[in-house]
Each structure stands twice: as C-alpha cells, then as structure tokens.
Structure 1
Amino acid sequence: MNNSDFTILIAEDEVDIAKFIKLGLSEEGYRCLVVKNGEDVFKVLEQNTVHIILLDWMMPKMKGIDVCKQLRHKKNTTPVIFLTAKDTVEDTIEGLRSGANDYIKKPFNFEELLARVETHLRLHYKIDEIIVLGDIQINISKHSVKKGDKKILLTDKEFNFLTHLIRHKGEVCTRQSIIENVWDIHFEYDTGILDVYMNAIRKKLKLEKNKLIKTVRGVGFIANDE
C-alpha cells in the first residue's frame, strides 16, 4: 500500500498547528482531513474512512479525551494519537487509559510525529515494512531478503548487518557503530568479524566488492544504490 491509500484526520483547533501538520503529512503523500472541534470528528467519521486520528486534547464543543472515550465506547478501533500541551505523568496515563494509542507532547518535532504515524499504521493495518538497496529488497516484517526475483537466505546476524547498512543508506557506518548496533557490544572489540560477515553477504547476494555496499578502508561500510 502507498501513503496515498491512507487518510489521516487532524482534530486541532489551533490553525497554525493544523496547517503545519497537514502540510507535512500531505508532502509524505497522505490524504488529510482537518476539523477544529471535537464534535466534528464524528461527522467526518460518518462520511469518510479514516485510518488514524491526530487528536488535540483541548478543543471546543468536546474535549479530545471525551472524543477518544466515546470512540472506544462505540467500538471504533481507529488508532488515536493525542497531541497536547498537557505534560504531566497523570495526563499521559489518563490519555492512554481513555483508549489512545499514543501521546505526543507539544511542541513536537514533525519527524517524530511522522515516525509515530508510520508505526501505528504499520501495526494496526499489518503493513509490511520494506527497505530497498538497488535490486535488493528487504521485508523487515517477514524477515526476508530478495535480489531481483530471487529469495536470498541470510543468517540473523547477516540480515541485521545488511538491514543496518540499508537503513543508513548514503552514510558511512563505522565499524564500532555496527558492532554496537548489530552485535550489541558496547566496548572496544575486534571488528575483524565484520569482514567475515560482509564477505558472506556479498557472496550470497553475488555482489562485486564495491557494488551497492562499499568498504571504506579503516572506517567501515557505506550502502548506496549504485
């Protein structure tokens, strides 16, 4: 599925914040609907299929907390993410207990909001997370690797090593950072083992030495689509 297949309802009475969120999500390809009060959430839901709701806590006519409680009372399971300036632990607990799936405190970073949206869409609608490097495709959800139309069998460490490099495509991943993130070893360690795994990955994927994954001598590795 593409982002354009998903509709996000933004329930926010602060116009500038609503515009900011809508602009960012629209640029990512999502279809966005905006309402300025709690009661209109239900009107939109009656006429549209909505896949996630970004819900301000303090809104006219009906507070977000009451909107969320009513949604869950009506057996509506649409993921709800609260956006609110209410930032005490008690507020967070109340919001989650009302049936919300997540809680983001204002002011927030758009990249964090986007990541939360992607996560809840993926979990709720069981969307496969797929990352790509050239003609290599990794399905994170199914823990599978394909090169072109051919399925490639990797060990868990090889899979995690390759995934780490592709997630940081275009960046040099240092040997120590790979050991820390893939091997979970947080102290000085002989990183020579990485060359053994990289040779195995290249052999299984039938990669030329510096094709798609390049060795940066004395530093680490970098993945690029060329």
Structure 2
Amino acid sequence: MADKSSYKVLIGEDESTTARRLADFLKERGFETRVETAGQELQKAAKEWRPHFCIVNMMLKDYLGLNFLKFTVENNIETKTFITSSHNSVENVKQALKAGAHDYIVKPYKQEDILSRLVFHIQKQRNVPKEEKKGPEDNTLVHLINFVLKEAVQPKRIKDILFNHSKMLEIALKAVRVSIIKCDEDRLTGHVMISSDDRGLFGLKIDLNRYAEVIHVMNTEKMVVIENMDGDPAMAAVKEKLKSISFNSIIVAPVWRHGKFYGVLSARLPKEKTSFSDRDIRFTQLLSYVVSTVISSDTENTLAVKTAA
C-alpha cells in the first residue's frame, strides 16, 4: 500500500457533481483525493496512484464495481474498496463483500457517513483470538462467566437481565458505555435496546450510518475490535481535523435471535485505555452468545419497540 504520510482516496463515480463535492469535503479534512468517472481511467488511476481507499459506484455507465474489485486483486493493488449502491439488499451486500469489498455504502449517502467509514477502516482492527489461551487471566474470566450465567437464569424481566449483563461488561472492560442495539430490517436504522449508562434510552431510534462499526458487523456478521491509533502520524493529522468523531477503542459483537442476525453488543473504552486484552475479547464474545440466548427466550416480545401510528 502507498506511503501513509496522508491517506489517498480514489473516487469512481459518474455523477460528477456528487463525486467532486465528496472529494472536496474529504480534502478539507486531510485526505488526498482523485476523481474518475469511467472504468478504464479508474483502473489506470488505481494502478499508478496506489490509493489507500477506493470509493466506487457499483454501476458506472461503462463499468461494474465488481469488475474493479477483480482488477485490484489481479494486479496486486493493496487498497480498501468501498462499493456504493442504491440497492441495500442482503444479497447485494454479501455479493460485494465476497468479491473483496471492504465496505458497502447505500446511496444516497451523507458526506459525513463516508468520512465515518474511512476513519473506521483507518483504525487498527485486532484479530479475534480463535483459540483460548491458558494464562493468569483465566481465573478472572471463569469468575466473570459464572456471574453471567447465574444472572441469565434469574427470574427477572428480560430488560433487567440484559441491563445487568451490560453493567457486567462495562465493569469488566472498564468501558464508558455498553450498548445492545437492534438493527431494523431496512438496514439503515436501529433502536437502542439497552445502554449501561442510561436505562431511559430504551427504544431510541438511531441512524446506523453514523456508526460504521455497527454497519460493518451487520454486513459481515463477525465481531470487530478497533484499537486507538495515537501513534500513527497520518491518523494524528486526520484526528486534528475531525474533532467531532470519536477515536476511542471499541469492540462490537453480533447478537442473534433464533439463529438470525438481530443486532450488536458494543463496548466503548475511555480515551486513556487504548487496547483490549484477549480476556476482554473472549468475555465480550461469550456475553454476546448469552445475550443472544436471552433475547431468543423473549417469547412475550417484551423488547418490541412501540412506534407512533
């Protein structure tokens, strides 16, 4: 990949006004940008300019975004490609991700949403441990698991059980907030089911495009772990211009209901804590399974959000 003294973003979009506005918006916030409106020029720019990111329309007038993904692989171009499309079906998203896209963005989008996705992918993603390692943290983890399982079988309301689980994770990770978020069928909006710092947020409607980490987990159905990158000089330059975006470390795990994707369990760390231990990751993963079981047991649908008629 290209040198990271600054981040390069190549935009492949035949709606020239939209593309230029996005390019200018990103340039004002510390990125280098370049716009191409046709397939051949897009390929040439990717090969010669070596951008860190490519934001490509799924269907340019003369070119398919999926073909661009194939082109980058065949030419060993190390870049992260975001596919943009007005179609938001699960099938389209999975097709793009399977072909090698790093993200899928629904049109029309806000420029701030693109910025949020870029920042998300710039930040360091940790690998989730595949095997449990034995070590001094294991005894603590066993005690935490014991508390979680005991709480899960208590004769309490579903909301109370989930809230207590969120508080357990908050304490274990020393997080500033733990949330359980339900993703709606439109894949654009969601609702806060549980927030460890405010019970009153139940049912709060949110725009998922503001939360790149949630969108990523919804699309991939896999846990993501993001750690603060204060040591990255290019990131420091970006952060200086993006005071409104949180760069705290965050961990997000998928939550299931009866075997189908339901939403996410997320935990955000304070600024002074920049990384997660393997124990943190394993405990969060375990808790996401327990939360999924509890939500699946909600036969009376007590977590249903009432909407205005």
Which range, TM-score by smaller chain?
Answer: 0.5 to 0.7
In structure 1, the residue matched to 2:14 is 13
Does the 8 Å contact 2:11/2:23 carry over to 1? Answer: yes
TM, length-normalised to structure 1: 0.53
2:187 is aligned with 1:186: no
Residue aligned with 2:60, SS: coil
- In the alignment, the residues of structure 2 paired with residue 119 and residue 34 of structure 1 have an alpha-carbon distance, to the nearest angstrom, of 22
Conserved 8 A contact 2:26-2:33 = yes
Q: What is the TM-score of this pair, normalised by structure 2? A: 0.40
For CA contacts below 8 A with separation 6 or more, give which structure has more relative contact order: 2
In structure 1, the residue matched to 2:25 is 24
* Alpha carbons of structure 1 residues 14 and 187: separation in structure 2 relative to 1, 3 Å: closer
State the match for 2:116 in structure 1: 115
Larger radius of gyration: 1
| 8 Å contact kept, 1:4–1:31 | no
Q: Give the whole-Å Cα distance in 1 for the aligned partners of 2:50 and 2:75.
A: 16
Unaligned runs of 5+ in 1: 125-154, 165-179, 189-226
* Counterpart position of 2:41: 40
Number of the residue aligned with 2:104: 103
Report the Cα offset of residue 65 of structure 1. 1.2
Contact kept? 2:50, 2:78, Cα under 8 Å: no
For residues 35 and 123 of structure 1, what CA distance do their matches in structure 2 show?
Answer: 28
Structure 1 stretch 38-47 or stretch 103-112: which is displaced more? 38-47
Q: Cα offset for 1:160? A: 3.3
Partner of 1:82: 83
Larger CA deviation: 6-15 vs 66-75:
66-75
Q: Is the 8 A contact 2:12 2:37 kept in 1?
A: yes
Aligned residues: 141
> Cα offset for 1:56?
0.7
Partner residue of 1:167?
none
**Equivalent residue letter for 2:90:** V
Q: Where does structure 2 lack aligned partners over 5 or more consecutive residues?
A: 126-169, 179-193, 202-309
Structure 2 residue matching 1:77: 3-state secondary structure: coil
Cα deviations by residue, 1:6-25 (Å, 9 ceiling, x for unpaired) = 11000111011101211210
- Give the match's secondary structure for 2:59: coil
Cα distance in 2, alignment partners of residues 4 and 106 from structure 1:
30
Q: Residue 159 of structure 1: CA displacement?
A: 5.7
Contact 1:11/1:54 (<8 A) preserved:
yes
**Paired position in structure 2 for 1:51:** 52
2:105 alignment partner, SS class = strand
Is the contact between residue 10 and residue 34 of structure 1 (CA under 8 Å) also seen in structure 2? yes
| Native 8 Å contact 1:51 1:121 kept in 2 | no
In the TM superposition, residue 45 of structure 1 has moved relative to its aligned partner by 2.3
Pairwise CA RMSD of aligned residues? 3.2
**Partner amino acid, structure 1, of 2:16:** V
Structure 1 vs Structure 2: percent identity of aligned residues?
A: 24
CA distance in 2, matches of 1:35, 1:4: 23
